[in-house]
Structure 1
């Protein structure tokens, strides 16, 4: 984070300078000029100071303020750039007042959208539904429903009413089974303690099951000793029991329904790059018959391409999370974009390849940015159908 902050602030400064041309075109008021630069200057300096002093709780709010300042100006600067291209051809006449007014209106609209995201977006839950068809789905599971949750990040919660709104939506789906694909906490198992009673009330007739995500191991903080870290992980495993979830640690079990069954497989976290590779699909699926219908829970979607697709067993459906959709982007008329797409090939929603499906959940909670902008918190409901 420390290495990225100077580059982010520098880019922000460049956009600030460019956007200021529109302000200068519309007014010569020095008080407005002073307020423009004073706000961003103080905010940028505070972000740099907080990043280098380790004040992570403060910096998440500061980054939200930075987005409120940066993104509207970035969008407005694109319009200014188009005008400057025409000014180049016309010999650089003064900036158009009409264009500058339009730029400020566009920036204002995006500011309001961002403001909603950082104030209300974190609990603006969306129920997303997908129906998946499989020729070899056992007949008794035709119409079987799964509600998937991912990336709860309870350490970020502060609004009990907002969280309960999401949990009520989960139970309202009345799905046959609830699956949680990791990151229950940010770092500490104790972060979940205030929320245990609420999450324990989630209900599903065929059970609730879970796996661990990269944040659940406590790898992103400094512990006094190894024993404390191990004790934290053990406590987190007990928390899964207390909220009624059967935690799968590189293992599988059978879900039975009227004499037929499907295999539910859960691997520990396995991530590309610098992420730990605790997951072991070979071990987890060792006792699963080749002809079984298989549902795999694997927190990081990069595991699908890297391991699952090449596995000797046909894994019909993989459920992942991890990306959060970067908590920033947009989804309109079937088109979706987020900066996370340049890091993860599969980052949100449903993917299919060679008759195998992957669903990447956008996440129930939030981390870092104290909100969600365009990529809303998700409750996924998947219906299995037999062709």
Structure 2
């Protein structure tokens, strides 16, 4: 090929490649990735061995282009699987102001089928649920109260620095030897993630699952206090290079450290393990590249097999 032709096709190929990326970025948000993971919980009761827990995160309903279709798809997949519990790690809405009612209604109607199917569903709230698009924004407590009431009216228990006993699947009996606790941590950006206060509500060696929105909250856990924890918030970076999850658009554009997805290796105190879900919605632009929305199923184990 002559040099001029090579130059011509080189110049033409750049916008064509960018156009392809944008096109794919608009398609990938609708390709739900179902991840299967094992979660090790020391002192896990035998009755919980092998049970499954599902996690979804970051619906971001109310953005100028949201992903409600994939939210509903994830709910359908969960109902098919029928896990022992569902954990939703915050950011139900995006910027549902000044009138939050339509977005809250859409969120509730999208996930209500979980509780109608009698699957115990629990949640914590994220920064967008407080109307915070940056750490400098003042939390909007009226918005939080409205969202929390709507979720709980739909049967979804919202935890803010609280601990509950997870109901044992397939039985009404819950003795001391079968207790598994769920630890729900409040919003980090709203300065409401009180880890020590929350951990004081349970015995030190008790088996537990820890639910939070922002991975930054994980750093406050003392050693062995969070052997299995889940978070969201980062969207997996949303747009990222193949095989280099830390090189992502959100890692470069946001002030926070971005733990892209999956197990955050080397992060937190000894004996603690955090899984970061990529979420379903978007931040700023409705595109995902090399970062499909995620639904995660965890199989609970007392030790590695």
Q: Structure 1 length as normaliser, TM-score?
A: 0.65
**2:186 counterpart of 1:268:** yes
Distance 1:277 1:158, change over 3 A: closer
**2:77 counterpart of 1:169:** yes
Q: Is the 8 A contact 1:147 1:173 kept in 2?
A: no
CA distance in 1, matches of 2:154, 2:3: 61
Give the structure with the larger helix fraction: 1
- CA drift of 1:220 comes to 4.5
Q: Which residue of 2 aligns with 1:241?
A: 152
Q: Is the 8 A contact 2:62 2:93 kept in 1?
A: yes
**Which of 264, 287, 291 is the aligned partner of 2:205?**
291
CA distance in 2, matches of 1:110, 1:380: 31
Distance 1:144 1:331, change over 3 A: farther
- CA drift of 1:241 comes to 0.9
Q: Which residue of 1 aligns with 2:171?
A: none
CA distance in 1, matches of 2:53, 2:204: 22
SS in 2 for 1:384: strand
Q: Is the 8 A contact 1:321 1:360 kept in 2?
A: yes
Q: Deviation string for 1:248-301 (max 9, x for gaps)?
A: 01111112435301111111111xxxx332110112222110110121111111
Q: Which residue of 2 aligns with 1:325?
A: 236
CA distance in 2, matches of 1:294, 1:166: 25
Q: Structure 2 length as normaliser, TM-score?
A: 0.81
Alignment of 1:186-197 (within 5 A): 186-188=94-96, 189-190=100-101, 191-197=103-109
**2:280 counterpart of 1:364:** yes
- CA drift of 1:178 comes to 0.3
State which structure, 1 or 2, has the greater radius of gyration over its C-alpha atoms: 1
Aligned residues: 280
Distance 1:365 1:339, change over 3 A: closer
CA distance in 1, matches of 2:17, 2:257: 29
- CA drift of 1:121 comes to 2.7
Gaps of 5+ in 2: 169-173
SS in 2 for 1:200: helix
Alignment of 1:199-348 (within 5 A): 199-203=111-115, 207-220=120-133, 229-257=140-168, 259=175, 260-270=178-188, 275-305=189-219, 307-308=220-221, 311=222, 314-332=225-243, 336=245, 337-341=247-251, 343-344=256-257, 346-348=259-261
Distance 1:159 1:229, change over 3 A: closer
Q: Deviation string for 1:98-133 (max 9, x for gaps)?
A: 255246436524421321212x23322111121123
**Which of 108, 128, 145 is the aligned partner of 2:35?**
128
The Cα RMSD (Å) is: 2.9
Q: Deviation string for 1:214-268 (max 9, x for gaps)?
A: 11112449xxxx9x94432211111211332100011111124353011111111
- CA drift of 1:95 comes to 6.2
Gaps of 5+ in 1: 1-25, 27-93
Q: Is the 8 A contact 1:340 1:347 kept in 2?
A: no
CA distance in 1, matches of 2:66, 2:273: 35
CA distance in 2, matches of 1:352, 1:331: 19
SS in 2 for 1:235: helix
